[in-house]
Amino acid sequence: MDLQPRRAGRHSSRTPRHALLAVPLALIALVTVADMLAPPAVHLGPLLSAAPAVTASFAGPRVTGGMGAVAVLAQVVVAMVRGSVTDLNHASQIIALILISVFVTLFAHLREVHEKELVQLRWVAEAAQQVVLRPLRERIGPLRVASVYLAAEAGAQIGGDLYAAARTPHGTRLIIGDVRGKGLEAVGDAALVLGAFRAAAHQEANLPQLVSYLERAVAPDLEDAHAAGNESEGEAFITAALLEVPDHGRELHLVSCGHPPPLLLRGNRATPLAVDQPAPPLGLADLTEHRLSAQRFPFEPGDIVLLYTDGVLEARDEAGRFYPLADRAAAWDGTGPDDLLRHLREDLLAHTATRTLGDDAAMVAIERLSPAPPPSQGH
């Protein structure tokens, strides 16, 4: 289950905008009545220019132009009541109001064009991001899965963190990783790792071989990207954890490439699955199969394994304290991976002072379901 926040539809803002039209209309009515009742030496007509100006701040050119026309009509009525439309004072007010209305209508038109361009760019960006970081299925074999992604870059849905799952004939393979850096600049490296994982997860015989393939696939590109960028930014690398959960049995296999250890949630305990010999992050070493080994950990029906990235642990509160993920996960008393991530997401954002993160954060929760009973034999 994907717990990404969704944007509201385009129709969600129409009702408030229509309600806002009452403000400039009320302003026109108020100024018109006050101007007609004011002494001959007092002229309130210039205040009518505020109506189209206010309208342009939230409405399109047609509505803004229409509001300007209403304001001009109101000024003409005031001029007829108080004297003559051809009077120099009233004529100059009418001309000035027409010019202001034309100007703000043009401004509303330019703003609308710009907004349409931004909507189109955002749609393309979101489509590209969905291709890079595909939502995980809620059920993958005997597993129930949920995921959440919190991007640090404003306006983004993904950044430098990554996760993916692949179904194999013998089980399910998953990867979670963290590209050095954050935000949209790291999306390319994340896409590189995800593409290599999806291409090889079904072909490589075991996890060490899969990790070696990922290293061979991403290392040259990371070196090229680093050589073309700023040398002062340091080496490019990717921490990652790869899991394999066989369909049959009560264990999982784990290879860690410099990534934070997953948490095994069982009852009211959160146990880190720390491997004895972690491998270096991808892109920092020439990994070979004989140097890698997958460590086995128990994974019983009803257990939940929580994968996460550094952005979760490094979230700070107002006092500078890091987010205590293990304690908060152990204290959770809900049911199912989707409920767990929904709870942790809100708790993580509440932990920060501004409900924003300094780094991208991703979490994936995996629950092993009880095996289905064998089908009964007919007589």
Look at residue 66 and give its three-state secondary structure.
Answer: helix
CA distance 143 to 366: 6
Let me know: does 179 contact 168? Beta carbons within 8 Å: no
Burial of 247 (0-12, 13-18, 19+ CB in 10 A): middle
- Residue ranges of alpha helices (H) inside 133-206 are 187-200
CA distance 147 to 159: 15
Whole-number pLDDT of residue 106: 94
Look at residue 182 and give its three-state secondary structure.
Answer: coil
CA dist list (Å): 196 to 28, 192, 376: 63, 6, 42
pTM for this prediction: 0.69
CB-based contacts of 253, cutoff 8 Å, min separation 6? 207, 243, 244, 245, 246, 294, 295, 296
The b/e string for 129-145 (b: 16+ C-beta within 10 A; e otherwise) is beebbeebeeebbbbbb
What CATH number should be reported for the domain whose range is 134-368?
3.60.40.10
CB-based contacts of 165, cutoff 8 Å, min separation 6? 136, 137, 140, 145, 172, 173, 174, 175
Whole-number pLDDT of residue 126: 67
**Where does CATH 3.60.40.10 sit in the chain?**
134-368
Whole-number pLDDT of residue 8: 42
CA distance 281 to 285: 8
Rounded mean pLDDT for each run of 10 residues along the chain, 379 residues in total: 52 60 92 88 87 91 93 90 79 91 93 87 68 86 93 66 91 93 68 90 89 86 58 69 93 95 94 93 70 91 95 89 94 93 94 80 93 51
Structure tokens at 293: 């080994």
Q: Count CB atoms within 10 A of the CB of residue 263.
A: 20
Structure tokens at 329: 């996960």
DSSP annotation of 373 reads P
